[in-house]
């Protein structure tokens, strides 16, 4: 499979790149700065550009089988929301995909993005309430991305994570689509692994699994 990953130099993004390469996929890593990713592999291509540079986005997107985003918003506590760079990046990526393909898009988010399957429980309510109170810009980013995805023509999946700071990987991962009980913590490794698995699961199209350590 030919895969492009945005946010490739982040902690989850780097884990994803290594997992995808180990699985034999051809990976295009999109970074905003040269030399931001210290990984070398014969099946790895690195594209450097701004997140809204349409020509660079086309270079990284056209001809691939799936596009993934591990981009995350800055955790600013400022009350004034002046801009939404991660949502703008999603808007640009979605625009290129809708015009040139592919249709499969997986993005990383939090349960601030709501799924139709969600029922009121800790893993669906708390991750929405807390950011709204303490990280309004991050919350606004998530809600803007939610609107973009739900209005798009893409075969999207949102892999939702809560507190990706688990120090161990445990015994694998599990998911909830929001209608079953889950846990509040996941390792970055399993967040990356779930994103990679999502790229091959057609049954997850238009679904929003919440991933957590077993």
Segment 109-155, tens digit of pLDDT: 999 999 999 999 999 999 888 877 778 989 999 999 999 999 999 99
pLDDT in the model for residue 81: 63
Helix extents (H) in the chain: 11-22, 54-61, 85-100, 122-134, 136-150, 188-198
- For the chain, residues with pLDDT lower than 70 are 75-81
**Phi and psi angles of residue 44, each rounded to the nearest 5 degrees, phi first:** -110, 125
pLDDT in the model for residue 168: 84
pLDDT in the model for residue 153: 97
How far apart, in whole angstroms, are the C-alpha atoms of residue 183 and residue 204?
20
- Domain annotation for the chain: domains and CATH numbers: 2-213 (3.40.50.720)
Strands 155-160 and 104-109: parallel
**Whose CA is closest to 8, among 197, 185, 20, 159?**
20
Q: How many CB atoms lie within 10 A of CB 204?
A: 21
Tell me the sheet residues that pair with 68. Answer: 5, 106
**Whose CA is closest to 181, among 128, 108, 122?**
122
Q: 46 near 14, Cβ under 8 Å?
A: no
Strands 66-69 and 44-48: unpaired
């Amino acid at each position: 499979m030919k895969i492009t990953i945005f946010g490739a130099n982040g902690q989850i993004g780097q884990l994803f790149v290594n997992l995808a390469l180990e699985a034999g996929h051809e990976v295009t890593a999109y970074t905003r700065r040269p030399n931001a990713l210290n990984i070398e592999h014969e099946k790895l291509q690195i594209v450097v550009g701004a997140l809204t540079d349409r020509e660079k986005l086309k270079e990284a997107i056209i001809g691939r089988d799936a596009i993934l985003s591990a981009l995350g918003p800055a955790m600013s506590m400022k009350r004034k929301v002046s801009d939404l760079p991660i949502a703008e990046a999603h808007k640009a990526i979605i625009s290129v995909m809708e015009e040139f393909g592919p249709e499969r898009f997986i993005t990383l988010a939090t349960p601030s993005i709501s799924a139709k399957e969600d029922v009121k429980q800790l893993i669906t309510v708390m991750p929405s309430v807390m950011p709204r109170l303490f990280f309004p810009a991050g919350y606004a980013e998530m809600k803007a991305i939610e609107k973009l995805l739900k209005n798009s023509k893409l075969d999207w999946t949102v892999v939702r994570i809560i507190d990706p700071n688990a120090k161990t990987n445990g015994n694998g991962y599990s998911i909830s689509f929001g209608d079953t009980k889950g846990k509040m913590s996941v390792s970055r490794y399993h967040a990356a692994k779930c994103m990679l698995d999502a790229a091959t699961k057609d049954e997850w199209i238009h679904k929003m699994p919440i991933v957590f350590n077993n």
